[in-house]
Amino acid sequence: MENREKQNAWKKLMAIRGMGQVVTVTAGLIVLCIVFAVLNPSFYSGRNVGNLLRQVAPILIIGIGQSYVLITGNIDLSIGSVVGMSCMISATLMTKGMNPWAAMLLTLVLCVGVGVLNGLLVAQCKLPPFIATLGTMTVARGVAQIVNNNYNTDAIGEAAQGYRNLFYYGSTFGLYNTIWIALVLFLGFNFLLSKTRTGRHIYAVGSNIEASKLSGINTDSTTIKVYIVSAFCAGVVGLITSATAGMGTMDAGNMYEMYAVAASVIGGVSTLGGQGLLVGTVVGAAIWGVLQNGLQFAGAPVAMRNIVIGTIVVISVLLDVVIRTGKPKKAKNNTKLVTAQKES
Amino acid sequence: MGEYIAELNHIHKSFPGVKALDDVSFDLKSGEVLALLGENGAGKSTLVKVLSGVYTKDEGEIKIFGQTVEDLTPKKAQELGIAIIHQELNMCAHLSVAENIFLAREKTHSGILSNREMNKDAAALLARLNIDIDPTTIVGDLAVSKQQMVEIAKALSTNAKILIMDEPTSALTSNEIDDLFKIIRKLKSEGCGIVYISHRLEELQNIVDRVIIMRDGRYITSMDFKDTTMSEIISYMVGREIKEKFPRVTCERGKKIFEVKSLNAGRMVRNVNLELYEGEIVGIAGLMGAGRTETTRAIFGADPKESGQIFVDGREAVIRRPIDAIRAGIVLAPEDRKKDGLCVKLSVEDNIALPNLDLLCSKFGVVDRKKEKTMTDEAVKSLSIKLVSADMDAATLSGGNQQKLVVAKWLARNSRVVMFDEPTRGIDVAAKVEIYSLMNELKKQGIGVLFVSSEMPEIMGISDRILVMCDGKITGEFAAGEATQDLILQYATKFESKYEQKEAI
């Protein structure tokens, strides 16, 4: 009886679209963790696990934003630069003596502005998202450079200690605050995506934008919303970066847009739209972090880490393709069986 | 039958370069089924898209339930009680049946989607319509005909009073068509007005009360269905009488040019043998899913084969990929012209040149524009493709002309065998006759024509020899004279019984 209930729960879980791949990838994650633990037992020390999770958090946050955009069938290349912009603007404002919390809010508003711009370019001006966000990526990086006259900022100082603790150094109930921020954002955005009308419309737009429009969905506003989410997430990551370094760095968030794509795609979010779960993005980001951290622990040089991680990204997408297109091959084998039976 | 529920007066609508609707008026009463008829490009789809808010009119007046409506949008039309089932399937393939039915009208409790309630309501709706589908199924996993039924259910779920169906039956099986007609009759008795667009004129007699005929973007006439005849309707649609529906030319049967021996490719092509002689058209009949398309694709090398030999003019041709087939002189005009047949975003000229670049390029791979232009001009002329300019996108051509273009690109190279897969699907009566004449022309030139069609009258009217397929096998062969619809159908449903299979093991 209990067994059947368990089976039902499992069935229910697997009935969620895309959960299959999440489970597969999670299995991969567990294997990775075991391998690294064997290679170096201190991988599992409490301190390293805490650090690891804190490393993963920004990748997860920015991955959530990118997943939103990918599920609508678009892409946001600007988010790495928005991280840089957020880092530089927040730090510059604080070094100029602005209250850290006011600086934080203003920074987030400006970042969301980039999201609105991206959304308008893609939804209303019908620009291909790749090109539109390539443009805003360059512009946002330029803004990051210009805010402090092409210099990294000085230290943001004593007044911002509370801000630095909130985003990086402090901890609550034994977990670093950065991890809590990622957790809260994940729960909120996961709820929005899976339980609300807006979330349903995001999947619908990615699945078939024409059908969505004809059903009466405001597809333009849906598209703008996802770009706002991704820019907001990037803004938060930028704040974490400035809190971490205690200053603004102009090249902060460099390549983050690609890390975000990687976390999403490893976790099973389809780059063609209509498909993907944020739980997958969590696992994808975790794999990313475990590889970075584990390879470092195992003593692999940076170059080696890049090669391994890049290969893993390609393999995970390849696996997805093989799993999906593998179906017809199976059917064919069945036919061979049928014909073979007949001959006998 | 009651008052007018939808009236369109003097509607004009232009697209860049085309006047799609020119002073068209249209009305619909409650409790009637109105057939909107006309050839492809007559403006039927544009008209119903104006009525459902997809397109905005340039000029004219729209009245819904007696009220003049400005700025109609899809959402507003839906709220007014207008539902449309579009010609192309418009579903979100990644979402479930229930999610699609309630798309943009999701039920929520304090902002949270109530999936359970929507699934329950969808199940009730499907049950009421006698559609046997689980509402939690992902739409992309359903067969096309089931998807179409879901689309119909979705339109009905809005409790629409004005229901527009644009070619609703093209993907349905006959049982499903029966069910659909039952639904339509029921809606009619409830006082709904239904606009029905279809090329399948023979269906109309089962349900239609009145017809409105359009031609070249204009309103032609409106008639009560019982006062008219099919040939009258067709002559209004075409603007002239069509004398010969199936023109036939007789040729001397020459030598064997093409032979397929025991071809196997997957479940849908099993031990297929066929021969083709000079001066004949061979038709392949069968039900949907009988393996006809798969056979043509396997011959052409588009799908992998497991075994089998192919001979052209007595020499064996080894075909692994389409390029091998093309070199051997076998070409295919596929079923889905927009998807498989043409690059719709490229120009007419590019499309014709595409498979012939080997002939058009210099030694260094540079395209000879002059040769390209000559080739295009010749092809366009010999097939009388109607176009403004060869620089235009292939997408801008009408269905019939697109079909000719698919054939045109192959005729520039001296092919020996031309395979047509459903060449007349979705094109109008006049264009069909032109396609038939084209096939006859090929036949006269001694080119072998293999021709797959689901329309029996067409198969019987055009082919010299008919092969019938069922379940991946050729189950029968008839000369043109001896085939009847009943006979073909009998062989088309000749499934192997499970019992025999057991015995064989």
A62 vs A64: CA distance, rounded Å: 5
pLDDT category of residue B217 using cuts at 50, 70 and 90: confident
* Interchain CB contact of B322 with A (< 8 Å): no
* Model confidence, pTM: 0.75
A32 vs A221: CA distance, rounded Å: 41
Q: Is residue B70 packed enough to be buried (19+ CB in 10 Å), middle (13-18) or exposed (0-12)?
A: exposed
pLDDT tens, position by position, B254-307: 889 999 999 999 888 999 999 999 889 999 988 777 889 999 999 999 888 899
pLDDT at B41 over 80: no
Which of B90, B267, B501 shows the shortest C-beta gap to A331?
B267
pLDDT tens, position by position, B92-106: 888 999 999 998 888
Interchain pair A214, B138: CB under 8 A: no
pLDDT tens, position by position, B385-430: 877 778 888 887 877 788 888 888 887 777 889 999 988 877 777 7
What distances in angstroms separate CA A176 from CA A60, A167, A243, one per listed residue?
15, 9, 13
Residues of A in contact with B114 (CB under 8 A): none
The fold adopted by the segment(s) B256-504 is Rossmann fold (3.40.50)
Residue B183 CB partners (closer than 8 Å, separation 6+): B129, B130, B152, B156
* Interchain CB contact of B95 with A (< 8 Å): yes
Token representation of residue B468: 């019938």
Interchain pair A197, B108: CB under 8 A: yes
pLDDT at B308 over 50: yes
Positive or negative, the CA dihedral B121, B122, B123, B127 is positive
* Short-list B95, B92, B93, B150, CA closest to B125: B150
What are the per-10-residue average pLDDT scores of chain A (344 residues)?
Answer: 67 74 87 86 81 92 96 95 95 90 94 96 93 95 92 85 88 90 96 92 91 87 96 96 92 91 89 89 92 83 84 77 53 34 35
Residue B248 CB partners (closer than 8 Å, separation 6+): B440, B461, B462
Closest chain A residue by Cα to residue B101: A215
Average of per-residue pLDDT across B357-374: 83
* Short-list B169, B151, B34, B425, CA closest to B51: B34
Give the architecture (CATH level 2) of A43-321: Orthogonal Bundle (1.10)
Q: How many helices (H) and strands (E) does chain A have?
A: 14, 2
CB B178 within 8 A of CB B207: no
| Residue A323: per-residue pLDDT | 66
Backbone dihedral angles phi then psi of residue A40, each to the nearest 5 degrees: -150, 105
Residues paired with residue B197 on neighbouring β-strands, in sequence order: B36, B166
Token representation of residue A343: 């001959």
B139 vs A245: CA distance, rounded Å: 49
Better-predicted residue by pLDDT, B87 or B317: B317
Determine the residue type at A277.
Answer: L
Closest chain B residue by Cα to residue A330: B266
Domain span(s) for CATH 3.40.50.300 in chain B: 4-238, 256-504
ipTM above 0.90, yes or no: no
Tell me the three state secondary structure of residue B53.
coil
pLDDT at B83 over 50: yes
End-to-end CA distance of chain A: 44
Q: Which residues of B133-144 are buried (b: 16+ CB within 10 A; e: fewer)?
A: bebeebbbebee
Residue B462 CB partners (closer than 8 Å, separation 6+): B246, B248, B281, B283, B436, B439, B440, B451
* Interchain CB contact of B366 with A (< 8 Å): no
Query: Taking phi first (over 0 means left), then psi (-120 to 50 degrees means alpha), and beta for anything else, what does residue A198 get?
Result: alpha
Interchain pair A196, B108: CB under 8 A: yes
Q: Which of A190, A193, A200, A217 to mutate to test the interface with B (most CBs of B within 10 A)?
A: A200
End-to-end CA distance of chain B: 62
A237 vs A253: CA distance, rounded Å: 8
Better-predicted residue by pLDDT, B45 or A113: A113
Q: Which residues of A touch B (CB under 8 A)?
A: 15, 17, 195-197, 199-201, 203-204, 206-208, 210-217, 274-275, 331-332, 334-336, 338-339, 341-342, 344
DSSP B142-205: S-HHHHHHHHHHHHHTTT-SEEEEESTTTT--HHHHHHHHHHHHHHHHTT-EEEEE-S-HHHHT
The fold adopted by the segment(s) B4-238 is Rossmann fold (3.40.50)
Interchain pair B103, A338: CB under 8 A: no
* Short-list A126, A90, A292, A99, CA closest to A220: A126
Closest chain A residue by Cα to residue B140: A207
Measure A139 CA to nearest chain B CA, in Å.
32
Q: Which of A215, A335, A341 to mutate to test the interface with B (most CBs of B within 10 A)?
A: A215
What distances in angstroms separate CA B23 from CA A187, B57, B60, B223, B319, one per listed residue?
56, 11, 8, 19, 54
Determine the residue type at B172.
Answer: L
Measure B233 CA to nearest chain A CA, in Å.
32
Residues of B in contact with A73 (CB under 8 A): none
B95 vs B106: CA distance, rounded Å: 13
